[in-house]
Amino acid sequence: MTDKEAAQLITGAAKGCPKECGQAYAPVNIALCKYWGKRDEMLNLPVTSSLSLSLPELGATTRISFREGHDQLFLDGVEQSRDSVSARRVSKYLDLFRPDRSTFFHVESESTVPIAAGLASSASGFAALALALNDLFQWNLGLRDLSILARLGSGSAARSIYTGFVLWHAGTREDGMDSFAEPVDGEWPGLCMGLIMVSRREKAVSSRIAMKRTVDTSALYRAWPAKVESDLKNLRQAIEKKDFDLLGRTAESNALAMHATMMDSQPPVLYWMPETVEEIRKIWRLRDNGLPVYFTMDAGPNIKMLFMEKDASLIREHFPDMEIALI
C-alpha cells in the first residue's frame, strides 16, 4: 500500500464541507523508549514500538488555507523557498490530501522549539499539520486515525497527537492500519523534564538519513528490537508503580543504546558535541553523589533531564540555563 492509498483509506469516507482556514496545535513528545528504524519507509512503519512523554507547553501551531498557483510555507514567520527541504517535505505530505491537481495550500507554522535540532520539532509540526487538515476539511476523524495520518508525515508525529505518556504500536499489518499511538494511563504529579540546549543549529545529518544508515550498516542494531522490548516492559512498570529510578535508568539506557547504534553505522553518525559529553558527565557525578537525576537524548546534541519537582531547585543550581518543561 502507498502512503496516498493509506491516507485515502482513512479520509475517503469522511464527509465534511471545507472551511476557509484550519488551525491546530500539537505538543512535542520526548521518547523514553525510542523509535529508531523503519520496516516500511513510505508508510513510516517502525521496527519496534516506542513510548514517549509529551510536553504540552512546547510544540507547533499550524494554520492552513487554500491558495492558487503553488504551495506556500512559512516557518516562524519566514517564507521557505519552494526548493527547500522543509517546503518539499510539506508539499509531498499535502499531495496525500489534494482533492485535485489544481488545489494548493498556504501553510503557516510556528514552533516553540528550534527546527531540526533534535527536539521533536518534526513530530509536533506534522501532528499539528494533520490536525489542521482535519479542521480545514472538517473530516471529524478520531484520534487513532489522526495518529496514523500524522505518522505518514513523520513517524514520531503519531505520538504528538496526544499529551502525557504515549505508546506507539509498531503493528504488523502491511497497510499500517494497526500502527498508531494511544495514551498510556498514569499521571505522574511532580515528574519534571529539564531541557539543556547545547545547540540550536540544524543538525548536519537528518534523523531520516541517520536512521536508515543505522539500520543498513550497524551490527549493533541487531540487538535493538530485544532491547526495546525489555525497556518498554520496564517503563510500563515504572509508570504504573511511580518508580522514578526505574523510569530514569531505563530511559537513559535506551537513549545511550540508540546513539551507540548510530556511532556503529558506516559512516558513523555522531550528534554529540563536547558540551553534550560535559553535561552528561555532570549528571552522572550528581547521581553518584545521591541526587536522583537522569537524562535522555533524541537524534541531536541536546539533553533532556528527568527529575522530581522536589529536587528542581538543587538541580537548577548546577544547570542555571536549564529550561523546565511542564508535563
Q: What are phi and psi of 89, to 5 degrees?
A: -70, -40
Which residue from 193, 215, 202 is spatially nearest to 296, judged by alpha carbons? 193
What is the average pLDDT across 213-235?
Answer: 97
CB atoms within 10 A of CB 246: 15
Q: pLDDT above 90 covers what percent of the chain?
A: 88
Helix residue ranges per DSSP H, the chain: 3-11, 85-94, 121-137, 143-153, 207-217, 224-241, 244-263, 274-288, 312-318
pLDDT tens-place string over residues 251-290: 999 999 999 999 999 999 999 999 999 999 999 999 999 9
User: Of 116-130, 132-146, 280-294, which gets the smallest average pLDDT?
Assistant: 116-130
**Cell 513530530, located at residue:** 123
Q: Is 40 left (phi over 0), alpha (psi -120 to 50) or beta?
A: beta
Judged by DSSP in three states, 155 sits in helix
- What integer pLDDT is reported at residue 119 of this predicted model? 56
User: Do 24 and 187 touch, CB atoms closer than 8 A?
Assistant: no
Q: CA torsion, points 296, 32, 109, 101, in degrees to nearest 10?
A: 130
What is the residue-averaged pLDDT of the chain? 94
pLDDT band at 115 (very low <50, low <70, confident <90, very high): low
C-alpha to C-alpha distance for 295 and 280, rounded to whole angstroms: 8
C-alpha to C-alpha distance for 271 and 304, rounded to whole angstroms: 14
Q: Is the pLDDT of residue 117 over 50?
A: no
Q: Is the pLDDT of residue 120 over 70?
A: no
pTM over the 0.85 mark: yes
Burial of 267 (0-12, 13-18, 19+ CB in 10 A): exposed
Judged by DSSP in three states, 75 sits in strand
N- to C-terminal Cα distance for the chain? 37
Q: Would you give the distance in Å from CA 189 to the centre of its chain? A: 23
C-alpha to C-alpha distance for 23 and 168, rounded to whole angstroms: 24
C-alpha to C-alpha distance for 11 and 242, rounded to whole angstroms: 39
Judged by DSSP in three states, 181 sits in strand
Q: Is 170 left (phi over 0), alpha (psi -120 to 50) or beta?
A: alpha
Q: Is 167 left (phi over 0), alpha (psi -120 to 50) or beta?
A: beta
User: Of 104-118, 122-136, 171-185, 264-278, which gets the smallest average pLDDT?
Assistant: 104-118
CB atoms within 10 A of CB 249: 16
C-alpha to C-alpha distance for 272 and 293, rounded to whole angstroms: 20
Residues 6+ apart with CB under 8 A from 269: 205, 210, 213, 214, 262, 263
Which residue ranges form the domains of the chain, and what is each CATH number? 3-183 (3.30.230.10), 191-325 (3.30.70.890)
| Residue 290, H or E segment | none
Burial of 278 (0-12, 13-18, 19+ CB in 10 A): exposed
